[in-house]
Chain A
Amino acid sequence: GQNIDQPTEMTATEGAIVQINCTYQTSGFNGLFWYQQHAGEAPTFLSYNVLDGLEEKGRFSSFLSRSKGYSYLLLKELQMKDSASYLCAVRDSNYQLIWGAGTKLIIKP
């Protein structure tokens, strides 16, 4: 079966750095997405990786290793507004998006 694993919850301090990991086992691979979802709101797109390596976008970076079935989202200079759930999703060989359950990130002052 297809599976996406990410930690359920993480806590970090304002101003610090946090890394949210995601491992996947899917039928084929056509890209990995990270989304941010604040409570009660719809997800918003953060990043896309299809080749191995690091993609940087401001305070957020996303890394992919296809051979390991692994990705991480790195958030730097954490702000209170970064408190949200972070969803990892993989597009499989049928171009269907397989979603992880999300990681709830709690930022403390």
Chain B
Amino acid sequence: GAVVSQHPSWVICKSGTSVKIECRSLDFQATTMFWYRQFPKQSLMLMATSNEGSKATYEQGVEKDKFLINHASLTLSTLTVTSAHPEDSSFYICSASHLRGGNQPQHFGDGTRLSIL
């Protein structure tokens, strides 16, 4: 089945540090990749949608200058949390789908737990 690899799985760093999270589709070409954030006991919150070779579409309230998304190839998207602060601590999850529509589900990476001290 479709496999999405997300790395790193856990990050602990000091306030002000920038953190890069990678999301790779291992056995399929991901036309679209999605980045979510989830706080404890809350539902998934879509942050942005990225299509290969074009700029990401950010959801309302998500700062595009703080959460930099790059989708340079059909198998790799990265999310960089710039100058992270404690309030950015969360569970970040990427997902990828093969086609923009149809019956293709989103396949999720294992998530990255980010803790900013």
Task: Give the interface of A toward B (CB within 8 A).
Answer: 30-31, 33, 40-45, 48, 50, 87, 91, 95-97, 99-102
Contacts and interface: CB of A to CB of B under 8 A. Distances in A.
A43 B49 contact: no
Nearest to A96: B49
Which size class do B's interface residues fall under? 20 to 34
Interface in B9-65: 34, 42-44, 46, 49
B105 interface: yes
Contact of B108 (A43, A100, A101): A43
Given A31-B103, A42-B93, A48-B103, A102 B109 contact: no
B106 interface: yes
B46 A41 contact: no
A91 B43 CA distance: 17
B108 A87 contact: no
B88 interface: no
A44 B108 contact: yes
B49 A48 contact: no
Contacts of A96: 49
Given A42-B93, A96-B49, A48 B110 contact: no
